[in-house]
């Protein structure tokens, strides 16, 4: 018999793999390029291989119609205007996510700075609530703070990602270390699915597609790309290209050609 968590995970992932657009940037950075109208991005991409989206509760509440993809309610926030932009604070609860019709909850946890203890405590608290209500939890685990010299250091990434799994997350999102061999050591040390962040807007489509192909070869279960999808001139085509790599094992070069590169 499938559990509630498994049922909801099947809406967020497809065959155990994930292609997700995080669009929680509106609180931290405002209406940045591509997110002036986030609902338009969702509906434009939902039929092109996308499995899920990460959005703040205000965007969920204002959806003009239900979307065909899984929804993770994002409940960690800070702003670029703050004196402590790395200090993520809770903006919702698991019960609220259920009331909103979300399929899961997303938290952003920064490891390596003075704000770390408070955020780890939040992760443990929300994890317990998610388990109580059978709601999947995605933990965005970032090496970020005064004590982090190199956020892509494989040992630092592995430690950071492992914290998310140890605290009960069902999916861990973290940074790609830059090569297949080092990232394989990360994925092999994490007992839950690992997906990668996209980071800043890439210089070329091939760059982000190749990173995706390499990460999948290293054991990642998918991607959560923000700017590299919603700020793309054709986000639906970028989603199709990523879906080809993630679900059909197409190559980055083949998919770049389909986008027009």
Q: Which positions are catalytic?
A: 24, 142, 173
Known binding residues = 24-28, 142-144, 198-199, 226-227
Helix, strand, coil content of the chain in percent (nearest 5)? 45, 20, 40
The residue among 250, 242, 255 whose CA lies nearest residue 14 is 242
Ramachandran assignment for 30, one of left (phi > 0), alpha (psi -120 to 50 degrees), beta (any other): left
User: Measured between alpha carbons, how far is 103 from 87 in angstroms, rounded to an integer?
Assistant: 25
Q: Are strands 89-90 and 52-55 parallel, antiparallel or unpaired?
A: unpaired
Segments in the chain forming alpha helices (H): 4-12, 25-29, 38-45, 57-61, 94-100, 116-133, 154-166, 180-188, 205-217, 227-230, 235-248, 252-259
Dist. CA 239–CA 225, nearest whole Å: 10
Instruction: Please state the φ and ψ torsions of residue 38, each to the nearest 5 degrees.
Output: -60, -30
């Amino acid at each position: 018999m499938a559990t509630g968590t498994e049922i909801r995970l099947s809406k967020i992932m497809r065959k155990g793999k994930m292609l997700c657009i995080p669009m929680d940037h509106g609180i931290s950075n405002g209406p940045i390029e591509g997110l002036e109208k986030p609902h338009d991005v969702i509906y434009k991409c939902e039929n092109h291989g996308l499995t899920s989206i990460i959005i703040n509760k205000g965007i969920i509440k204002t959806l003009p119609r239900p979307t065909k993809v899984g929804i993770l309610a994002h409940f960690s926030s800070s702003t670029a205007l703050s004196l402590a932009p790395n200090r993520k604070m809770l903006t919702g609860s698991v019960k609220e996510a259920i009331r909103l019709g979300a399929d899961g909850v997303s938290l952003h946890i920064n490891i390596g700075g003075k704000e770390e203890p408070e955020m780890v405590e939040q992760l443990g608290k929300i994890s317990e609530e998610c388990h109580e209500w059978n709601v999947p939890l995605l933990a965005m685990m970032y090496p970020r703070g005064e004590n982090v010299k190199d956020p892509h250091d494989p040992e630092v990434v592995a430690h950071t990602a492992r914290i998310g799994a140890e605290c009960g997350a069902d999916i861990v999102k973290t940074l790609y270390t830059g090569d297949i061999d080092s990232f394989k050591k990360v994925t092999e040390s994490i007992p839950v699915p690992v997906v990668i962040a996209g980071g800043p807007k890439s210089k070329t489509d091939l760059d982000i597609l190749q990173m995706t192909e390499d990460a999948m070869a290293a054991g990642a279960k998918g991607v959560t790309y923000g700017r590299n999808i919603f700020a793309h001139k054709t986000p639906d085509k970028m989603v199709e290209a990523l879906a080809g790599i993630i679900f059909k094992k197409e190559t980055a070069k083949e998919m770049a050609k389909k986008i027009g590169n």
